């Protein structure tokens, strides 16, 4: 298994800045080329993006991104606010489809299937490529129902006992079961923030996805809850392919950490790392 980190390659025109972070990256005029740090291509990728451009109306948010996500690899994307990290992540399971002004060009394949082909079932796609959002968003239903919902609509269980088993297994994998096993009928929204995020992870893995997309999954959490989710991601990567957007260098889990930290090829990354973490 392999982990790499990349900056948002080619994701240019980062107009937005992140004043609260106090980074020295507000003016990108000094950065000639956006460059990927880490190896963007792998043999036999789980997903591959080629020459992806994304537009919101006539504003281009992503420019010519080509990138592979290897099987059972964690790929971590870092970069300044507004550079297109969430946009790119959403192209991987067509969540951008629900934004009417959003247009995606280029090719994105899941194994050898073009996920943007006309007859792609997006509900099925999003079961294969699940997503965990920045802010935990449990359904206003019980803990049990939050996890059972996906397996039920996808017909993954043939009996109540089977469904119970999937729910328990998913909650265990999300490292939440012991805390909620006596409260499965209580609302998911009544859990703490960190528990809610683990519930959302359980919900995502309940349909046995092949890829999990995570968009800053810890940014709404306190340090203890963050540490638990980080541990969990570490465990999940044994089984799933994960693409994560993060501001945390720990979560970036860089394959060859030294190279990226000490010899950033990419000025923007260097500024980012030194500005934020130096």
Ligand X SMILES: Nc1ncnc2c1ncn2[C@@H]1O[C@H](COP(=O)(O)OP(=O)(O)OP(=O)(O)O)[C@@H](O)[C@H]1O
Q: 95 or 260: whose CB is closer to Mg ion?
A: 95
Least distance between Mg ion and beta carbon 233 (Å): 17
Cα–Cα distance list, 255 to 23, 33, 90, 263 (Å): 24, 23, 24, 14
Nearest Cα to Cα of residue 269 among 35, 15, 10, 63: 35
Which helix (H) or strand (E) segment holds residue 122: the answer is helix 122-128
Least distance between ligand X and beta carbon 81 (Å): 3
Residue 15 binds which one of Mg ion, ligand X, none, with CB within 5 to 8 A depending on kind?
Answer: ligand X
Sign of CA dihedral 20, 266, 4, 123: positive
Least distance between ligand X and beta carbon 67 (Å): 15
Residue 81 binds which one of ligand X, Mg ion, none, with CB within 5 to 8 A depending on kind?
Answer: ligand X
Least distance between Mg ion and beta carbon 122 (Å): 21
Radius of gyration (Cα) for the chain, nearest Å? 19
Residues that bind ligand X (CB under 6 A): 15-16, 56, 61, 79, 81-87, 99
Q: 8 or 184: whose CB is closer to ligand X?
A: 8
Q: 215 or 253: whose CB is closer to Mg ion?
A: 215
Question: Strand 241-245 vs strand 73-78: parallel, antiparallel, or unpaired?
Answer: parallel
Number of residues that bind Mg ion (CB under 5 A): 1
Least distance between ligand X and beta carbon 201 (Å): 19
Q: Is 86 in the site for Mg ion (CB under 5 A)?
A: yes
Q: 81 or 189: whose CB is closer to ligand X?
A: 81
Q: Is 91 in the site for Mg ion (CB under 5 A)?
A: no
13: exposed, middle or buried (Cβ count in 10 Å: 0-12, 13-18, 19+): middle
Q: Is 246 in the site for Mg ion (CB under 5 A)?
A: no
Using DSSP, state whether 57 is helix, strand or coil.
coil
Residue 190 binds which one of ligand X, Mg ion, none, with CB within 5 to 8 A depending on kind?
Answer: none
Token pair of 77, please? 């994307």
* Polymer length in residues for the chain: 278
Q: 133 or 261: whose CB is closer to ligand X?
A: 133
Least distance between ligand X and beta carbon 182 (Å): 37
Residue 16 binds which one of Mg ion, ligand X, none, with CB within 5 to 8 A depending on kind?
Answer: ligand X
Cβ 233 vs Cβ 74: under 8 Å: yes
Least distance between ligand X and beta carbon 33 (Å): 18
Q: 88 or 240: whose CB is closer to ligand X?
A: 88
Cα–Cα distance list, 100 to 57, 58, 103 (Å): 9, 12, 8
Nearest Cα to Cα of residue 106 among 47, 69, 54, 56: 54
Contact residues for Mg ion, defined by CB under 5 A: 86
């Amino acid at each position: 298994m392999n982990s790499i980190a990349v900056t948002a390659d080619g994701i240019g025109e980062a107009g937005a800045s992140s004043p609260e972070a106090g980074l020295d990256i507000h003016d990108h005029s000094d950065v000639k080329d956006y460059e990927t740090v880490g190896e963007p291509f792998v043999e036999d990728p789980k997903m591959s993006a080629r020459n992806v451009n994304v537009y919101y109306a006539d504003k281009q948010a992503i420019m010519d991104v080509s990138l592979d996500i290897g099987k059972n690899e964690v790929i971590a994307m870092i970069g300044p606010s507004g550079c297109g990290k969430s946009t790119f992540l959403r192209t991987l399971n067509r969540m951008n489809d629900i934004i009417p002004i959003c247009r995606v060009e280029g090719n994105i394949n899941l194994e050898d299937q073009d996920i943007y082909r006309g007859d792609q079932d997006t509900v099925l796609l999003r079961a294969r490529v699940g997503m965990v959002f920045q802010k935990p968003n449990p359904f206003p239903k019980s803990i049990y129902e939050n996890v059972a919902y996906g397996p039920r609509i996808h017909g993954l269980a043939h009996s109540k006992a089977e469904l119970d088993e999937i729910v328990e297994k998913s909650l265990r994998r999300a490292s939440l079961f012991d805390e909620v096993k006596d409260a499965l009928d209580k609302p998911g929204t009544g859990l703490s923030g960190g528990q809610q995020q683990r519930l959302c992870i359980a919900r995502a893995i309940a349909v046995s996805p092949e890829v999990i997309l995570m968009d800053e999954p810890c940014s709404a959490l306190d340090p203890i809850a963050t540490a638990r989710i980080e541990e969990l991601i570490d465990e999940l990567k044994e089984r799933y392919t994960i693409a994560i957007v993060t501001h945390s260098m720990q979560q970036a889990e860089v394959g060859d950490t030294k190279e990226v930290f000490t010899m950033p090829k990419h000025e923007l990354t260097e500024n980012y790392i030194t500005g934020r973490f130096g």
